[in-house]
Structure 1
Amino acid sequence: MRVIVIGAGAVGGVLAALLHRAGHVVAVVARGEHAAAIAADGLHVDGGWGEWRARVSVVGGDDAEAADLLVLATKAHDSAAALGEWAGHDGTAVLVLQNGLGGEQAVRDALPNSPVAVGLALFAVSLTGPGRITVTGPNGLTLGGDADAVAVTEPVLRHALPAELTVTDDILGAQFTKLLVNQVNALPAITGLSVQQTIADEGLRRILATGMVETVAVGDAEGVSWGPIGGVNADAVARIRERGRVAADELARRLATGMGDVPNPASMLQSIRRGRVTEVDQINGAIVTLGRAHGVATPVNSALVELVHGVERTGEHLSPADTLALIAPALPSTTQD
């Protein structure tokens, strides 16, 4: 099968390398030094799924041949711009592999005849240098979306992915559970700490847990059915709904334990380190927007969005103490939301 991965960063890059290792013809869209390194020496992957080099080609929409599958793995806020040169591939199945919300609709707007699948990556990967990717959490992936796109994508992923692939009939419910899990993302971007270090800090964990409580309230107001993502399922959400921040704190600790000892920088911190815009608007900002629409207060998520954008502008991280001081007015005084 011929696959083109649009956005060969950490997640898109490791999927491209896995597909290439499985025998598929893979081309990628990348930029800058990363694109030059891939063109010269391929993608070098190490970590939890072994070590290998995938000599994929680098293409653009104007010079790309027909493909059987497009993978959109840019940041969600870059989706529309990235898809602009791919109108000639309208009708080709697309797999959206991103954090946050918005990418699926961007594909439907740009390529109205293309069936769309959505993949929610549970594996943790880091872009450690131009053309170099390290797998720090060799976990699975959840897949759903249009039946035609899933029919194309599922066998390819089962063949290439050395981890569990789960197919769901309710990808929206799974996306909201991923939004809940992705509450771990903003604080590392603000502080420069790994996810594990963030969760180990009592004050930062209090912020994180409160953001999770807000996310559950917004998802409930939206009427979603919370789908399972890894070890997080509707029961975990129900415990947060019933016990507030206490249950969210327990979930945060469990997520950190599941990440192991290798520091997980999270995707937003990786973007900050590369001088790029993060997907905070598509994760925490999506919760704020939906909360406003449903009359659900989301002061912690609002504060996280502002602080991440501040670090994007200045490049200066905040200490855990300063972060807590700035967000403290948004935190409830009790453990129950």
Structure 2
Amino acid sequence: MRIGIIGAGALGGTFAVLLERAGHEIQVTARGSGLAAIRAGAIRLSGGFGDGHGHPDAAPTLSGAFDLVLVCTKAQDAEDAIAANAAVVNGSPVIVVQNGLDGVRTATRLLPDSDCFGALSIIAANYTEPGVVRVTTRAATYLGRGSGPADPASKRWAAVLSEAVPVIAVDDFIGSQWTKLVVNMLNGLPAITGLSVQEIIADRGLRRVLTASMREAVRTGMARGIRFGSLQGLSDSRLRFFSRLPLVLGQALPRSMGVRMGSVPNLGSTLQSLRRGQRTEIDFLNGAIVREADAAGAKAPVNAAIVEQVHEVEASGTSIGRDEVLRRIAVR
């Protein structure tokens, strides 16, 4: 198949190398130093899926006809990136591999002739050098759309992609998006402090703040009538039980996530964006919880504080120390 990938960062680069390895013809979009690095050499992949080099065609925008297109940009860049490629992509099947809640809706609006799907990747990868990706956690990707059972088209594309990387077609994709959003609460505090996810989880005070942000996320989803999908050992019943726990007991949830990550430092995608001098997707992660809580007539003060502090770091370029974070975010 000829597959286009919009965005050749951590996930886009991983998919590009693995899909090329499986025999597909790949074109990726990239800009600036990332585009130059791919054109000059290759996408170099290491870590969880083995070492390899991908040599995709690379350009600022896609060209030609595609059997499938993956959108692998950050959430804040999705609308502009899809719009820039719409003339070529519209009509091709599109899978949005993205955090947050809005990706599939955005693609469907901008690409009315395309069959659009979402994918939630649990792969953790570091992309801190142009054209170089290190997978720190090998994991599955979950594909689907809507709130019903996985449809035949979702199952077909999951099977196609699974020839290169583990992909599972899931029921109730919207519920799964919310479960992934809870997992993505791991990103905010590393972006603020400059610490790895594992270091955040190991610190008693920061772990307490993290737990509070996750509990707010679950309670917000419940207030919005969400039934959480099952991902990576998390389920609706487990998350609802977690939502009722005091923070001292609820910390078992991020601890278990830390064990699953292993020992290779996971920087989190938001911190990686800051280190590359790029805008973060915090407004689509913790910020989504704040908006959804407001829509439910509730508040999410811990997540609101995390959003505010990430934007402060974006503006200043300087991390906020652990003690100052704990001073500003009081959790109970």
TM-score of the superposed pair, with normalisation by structure 1: 0.94
Aligned identity (percent) is 41
Kindly tell me: are residues 60 and 31 of structure 1, through their superposed partners in 2, closer, same or farther at Cα, counting changes over 3 Å?
closer
CA displacement at 1:305 relative to structure 2: 0.4
CA distance in 2, matches of 1:6, 1:35: 12
**In 2 relative to 1, CA 79–149 (structure 1 residues): closer, same or farther, beyond 3 Å?**
farther
Does the 8 Å CA contact 1:7/1:28 hold for their aligned counterparts?
yes
What one-letter code is carried by the residue in structure 2 that aligns with 1:297?
K
Contact 1:212-1:248 at 8 Å conserved across structures? no
1:259 aligns with: 261
Alpha-carbon offset, residue 149 of structure 1: 5.1
Greater shift, 16-25 or 149-158, is seen at 149-158
Change (3 A) 1:243 1:176: same
Aligned to 2:70: 71
User: Aligned partners of 2:129, 2:41: CA distance in 1, in Å?
Assistant: 13
* CA deviation after TM superposition for structure 1 residue 59, in Å: 2.5
Q: Distance in 1 between matches of 2:91 and 2:156?
A: 13
Gaps of 5+ in 2: none
CA distance in 2, matches of 1:32, 1:156: 31
**What one-letter code is carried by the residue in structure 1 that aligns with 2:229?**
G
Q: How many residues align?
A: 327
1:110-150: per-residue Cα shift (whole Å, max 9, x none)? 10121111111011101131111001001111111174752
Q: Which runs of 5 or more structure 1 residues have no equivalent in the other structure?
A: 333-337
> Is 1:36 matched up with 2:36?
yes
- Within the candidate set 215, 218, 223, 2:217 is matched to 215
Give, in whole Å, the separation in 2 of the partners of 1:148 and 1:10.
29
Q: Matched residues in 2 for 1:250 and 1:159: separation?
A: 35
Is 1:153 the counterpart of 2:153 in the alignment? no
Please say if residues 271 and 277 of structure 1, whose CA atoms lie closer than 8 Å, have aligned partners that are also in contact.
Answer: yes
C-alpha contact 1:115 1:149 (8 A) present in aligned 2 = no
1:221-255 per-residue CA deviation (whole Å, 9 max, x = no partner) reads 11111111112222320221221424431101110
Q: Does the CA-based 8 Å contact 1:95-1:149 persist in structure 2?
A: no
Partners of 1:247 and 1:168 in 2: CA distance:
30
Q: Is the 8 A contact 1:71 1:94 kept in 2?
A: yes
CA distance, structure 2, for counterparts of residue 195 and residue 294 of structure 1: 30
Secondary structure of the 2:285 match is helix
What residue is the counterpart of 1:20 in the other structure?
A: 20
Native 8 Å contact 1:72 1:94 kept in 2: yes
Q: Deviations over 1:308-328 (max 9, x none)?
A: 000011110011111111112
How far apart, in 2, do the equivalents of 1:121 and 1:282 lie?
A: 16
Paired with 1:184 and 1:87, the residues of 2 have a C-alpha distance of 32
Taking the aligned partners of 2:198 and 2:84, their CA distance within structure 1 comes to 39
Alpha-carbon spacing, 1:246–1:234, altered in 2? closer, same or farther (3 Å): farther
Give 2:236's aligned amino acid.
Answer: A
Post-superposition shift, 1:85? 2.3
1:103-182 to structure 2, matched below 5 A, reads 103-145=103-145, 147=151, 150-151=154-155, 153-161=157-165, 163=166, 165-182=167-184
Report the secondary structure of 1:117's partner residue.
strand
Equivalent in the alignment of 2:329 = 327
2:213 aligns to what SS in structure 1? helix
**1-side partners of 2:85 and 2:114: how far apart?**
11
For 1:45, the aligned partner's letter is L
What is the DSSP-based 3-state SS (H/G/I as helix, E as strand, rest coil) of the residue aligned with 1:276? coil
SS in 2 for 1:4: strand
Q: Which residue matches 2:273? A: 271
